[in-house]
Chain A
């Protein structure tokens, strides 16, 4: 389990997070949502171990994050940052192979290469393997990076859960690839990996995530199943928008329509 206990964080005296209690269980797929500046990326960085909470504590598989070595940590949790660029033209295959770094001592072996080829195929970019990464389109790059982080935690190596943290993975993708990604992430969760992603599309999260956590002004406001969290009242409280919640025509998840919040707003359901 990956947990934050009463985690807070400030930069230059400005509080970005206050008293956040959060847990990510292996096998579940969770969306972290909230308006801009709510502290989503900061929480993700605390959970990845990139930043340390002050006050509070982050605990990974029962051990405080600070006591983990970087390498041991890298074997059980992968992180996809929002912005990624590459200074020199690795091929797509080489970029994805970097994900195997915590698993080999210096030189990637045959199993590492096979795993990466498999994952490039899974993400529909196998045909780009030998192309320079710097010349791929935004969506293609995003999928190669996904192959990289998948490769990092795909295989079970010892007891304790594995986790995948993603900062806006759907942003560079078209709608078809967004839907495909959500399916892939559900498969990843199905392998016993805890998936936590920052997303902005409420409908995407509602349809594909097991849980939604709503963050605003550095505080965790609500955390629960989509049906429970996505109510008109809670969405207004979190995002300052009026929303109409309907049943999705094809499945039993909620479906949300928005209109701007204002004094003359017609219906608030």
Chain B
């Protein structure tokens, strides 16, 4: 019932059905797009090698075949095209994927606290990826399979881990539908994260040095080190899965009223629920495989987007995806600049933002209840 961030009734009620809101939504979406574009551009200019906006424009236009009379060095072009641009695009994709996954999970669990990290799906995906790194080096046929899958191997392993985790936690949380779910879901998430963490820890004992370095990267979360090949792989997973969720928007709407009501309204849950869990696991698995565990984006972005878009998923999902991208691009920019030339793990920044956000939701001030 508490919702101190909402306008009081007197402001909302005199409007005839649907009159003022489309304009608000449109201008908010436009603002969000502008902010996102600005953040992307700003992020690309930050770093040890100086790059001006004009130079960025020139380098990009040059690549498209237009000559522009702005001077830049090959080092600058190299840094932009092979380091900074892949990095912001990665942040964009992962932020978008995590936010879409978070919005879907909040509807599936009917719980404003659901998030891939909190619920334990990220831990499952990380365990899948780590297990693959270690075991592919130990077991011959797994190694052969890994070689055959190429850059898809780790996303696939993380995806399998994410699916198993989502399904398990979903089953556990459903046991407690009668008593409000919230607590049960969180406890199931904590228990599962602890288990997955322990298993990941065990794997580090049998890993060699090279593998250990990859594992550390996964558990800390980082946007560094990705090239265009990895981004192409990630896009193959994230874009179709996000589009898939968008096609299930009406189901997500109906789920907000409960699974029984969704059934009464004609959704065959036995058929579409596994699809929904799969799509979430694809988004989380692929993101975690590329960047490790970056928490709280999936929690924050849907809530922020819901403030002006309302809970309807047709509008919410794209807005949440854009918000998630904006959040992660900004968090990454902060991670690279606050302690420059050193780089703070981006997961630290998102946790710094997300932790208080989560506590505020728990205390019900932001919660849409």
Binding site for B on A (CB under 8 A): 48, 50, 69-75, 78-79, 81, 84-91, 93-95, 98-99, 101-102, 106-107, 113, 117, 127-132, 134-135, 152
- Known A-B contacts A129-B17, A130-B17, A134-B1; the reply to A89 vs B265 at CB < 8 A is no
Chain A residues with CB under 8 Å of B260's CB are 50, 79, 81
- Known A-B contacts A101-B254, A129-B17, A130-B12; the reply to A90 vs B265 at CB < 8 A is no
Q: How far is the CB of A174 from chain B (nearest CB, A)?
A: 20
Is B266's CB under 8 angstroms from A130's CB? no
Is B264's CB under 8 angstroms from A134's CB? no
Is B266's CB under 8 angstroms from A73's CB? yes
Q: How far is the CB of B181 from chain A (nearest CB, A)?
A: 9
Total B residues in contact with A, Cβ cutoff 8 Å: 36
Q: Given B12, B16, B253, B257, which contacts A131 in the complex, CB threshold below 8 Å? A: B12
Q: Bound complex: CA of A69 vs CA of B268, how far in Å?
A: 8
Q: Given B6, B15, B368, which contacts A87 in the complex, CB threshold below 8 Å? A: B368
Is B312's CB under 8 angstroms from A74's CB? no
Is A81's CB under 8 angstroms from B261's CB? yes
Q: Bound complex: CA of A70 vs CA of B16, how far in Å?
A: 34
Q: How far is the CB of B368 from chain A (nearest CB, A)?
A: 5
26 pairs across A/B with beta carbons < 8 Å?
A50-B260, A50-B264, A69-B268, A73-B266, A74-B264, A78-B264, A79-B260, A81-B258, A81-B260, A81-B261, A85-B258, A87-B106, A88-B106, A90-B311, A94-B310, A94-B312, A95-B257, A98-B257, A98-B261, A101-B253, A102-B265, A117-B17, A127-B13, A128-B13, A130-B17, A134-B368
Binding site for A on B (CB under 8 A): 1, 3, 6, 9, 12-13, 15-18, 106-107, 110-112, 250, 253-254, 256-258, 260-261, 263-268, 306, 310-312, 314, 368-369
Q: How far is the CB of A66 from chain B (nearest CB, A)?
A: 13
Prevailing SS type, chain B contact patch: loop
Q: Given A75, A79, A86, which contacts B256 in the complex, CB threshold below 8 Å? A: A86
Q: How far is the CB of A3 from chain B (nearest CB, A)?
A: 19
Q: How far is the CB of B151 from chain A (nearest CB, A)?
A: 35
Is B17's CB under 8 angstroms from A93's CB? yes
Q: Bound complex: CA of A151 vs CA of B253, how far in Å?
A: 16
Chain B residues with CB under 8 Å of A75's CB are 266
Q: How far is the CB of B261 from chain A (nearest CB, A)?
A: 7
Closest A-chain residue to B15, C-beta based?
A130
Chain B residues with CB under 8 Å of A74's CB are 264-266
13 more A-B contacts (CB under 8 A) besides A101-B250, A134-B368, A134-B369? A70-B268, A86-B256, A86-B257, A88-B106, A88-B306, A88-B368, A89-B3, A89-B368, A90-B256, A91-B310, A93-B18, A101-B265, A131-B9
